[in-house]
């Protein structure tokens, strides 16, 4: 036996990186907010964006709202885990917080765009990939038009993008259909618990 504690290697299980995505209007934000009420031990990575802040959104909780030059500086310095541009605005995930929480053993939720999800999968092959889908494209269109936060032109852009994204579900491990909100949250919660039971790699500290 090794009596010297300094010679012992402490094994710590890393957390799961859970990537959650889906088309605009599918209800990702609502689902994630309620998931955190049920599972407060999760960690949420807050994305950075150059788009304007919408009514009800909170700085540092919904997004970090920044100017384009600042965002570009983060890309250049390699401080973003992923980033993408849509409708003239940049979106990205700060890397430092995610890495720190994973190494501490916490599960981290990334609620990001489909393009960004593919990039994260390349960097983190063990990431849990979850696609939130609408019950139908018609219902998705109804939700997008109903929230009335964007111009008709931008809504059309989001609908065109959604059609493409719905064809990319094969990139993901799970599909959760947001038809009934409570059922969708239950399904997502079960996925998180199931992934915690999976045998995972150990890292030395």
What does the pLDDT look like over 124-183, one tens digit per residue? Answer: 899 999 999 999 999 998 988 887 777 888 889 889 988 989 988 888 999 999 999 999
CATH of 14-198, one of 3.40.50.720, 3.40.50.300, 3.30.420.40, 3.30.360.10: 3.40.50.300
Percent of the chain surpassing pLDDT 90: 55
The SS3 call for residue 200 is coil
pLDDT at 46 over 60: yes
Given the structure tokens 């919660």, which residue do they identify? 189
Distances (CA, A) of 72 to 83, 151, 177: 10, 26, 35
> Average pLDDT, whole number, for the chain?
87
pLDDT at 202: 55
pLDDT at 88 over 80: yes
pLDDT at 18: 97
pLDDT at 11: 52
pLDDT at 15: 93
Percent of the chain surpassing pLDDT 70: 91
* Residue 201 pLDDT grade (very low, low, confident, very high; cuts 50, 70, 90): low
pLDDT at 9: 39
Mean pLDDT of the region 92-115: 91
Alpha helices in the chain (DSSP H): 28-38, 68-76, 95-103, 114-123, 137-147, 152-165, 181-197
Can you give the residue ranges of every domain in the chain?
14-198
Backbone torsions φ then ψ of 91, nearest 5 degrees: -135, 140
Q: Choose between 53 and 7: higher pLDDT.
A: 53
pLDDT at 1 over 60: no
pLDDT at 54: 87
SS (H, E, C) 152-197: HHHHHHHHHHHHHHHHHHHHCCEEEECCCHHHHHHHHHHHHHHHHH
């Amino acid at each position: 036996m090794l009596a010297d504690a300094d010679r012992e290697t402490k094994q710590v299980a890393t957390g799961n990186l859970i990537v959650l995505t889906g088309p605009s209007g599918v209800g990702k934000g609502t689902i994630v907010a309620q998931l955190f009420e049920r599972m407060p031990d999760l960690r949420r990575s807050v994305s950075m964006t150059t788009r304007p802040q919408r009514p009800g959104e909170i700085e540092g909780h919904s997004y970090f709202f920044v100017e384009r030059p600042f965002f570009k500086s983060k890309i250049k310095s390699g401080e973003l885990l992923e980033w993408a541009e849509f409708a003239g605005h940049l979106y990205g995930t700060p890397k430092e917080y995610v890495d720190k929480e994973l190494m501490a053993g916490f599960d981290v939720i990334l609620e990001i765009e489909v393009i960004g999800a593919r990039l994260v999968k390349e960097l983190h092959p063990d990431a849990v990939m979850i696609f939130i889908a609408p019950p139908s494209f018609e219902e998705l269109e109804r939700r997008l038009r109903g929230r009335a936060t964007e111009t008709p032109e931008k809504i059309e852009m989001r609908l065109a993008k959604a059609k493409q994204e719905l064809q990319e579900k094969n990139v993901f491990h799970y599909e959760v259909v947001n038809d009934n909100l409570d059922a969708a949250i239950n399904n997502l919660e079960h996925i998180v618990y199931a992934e915690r039971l999976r045998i995972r790699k150990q890292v030395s500290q």
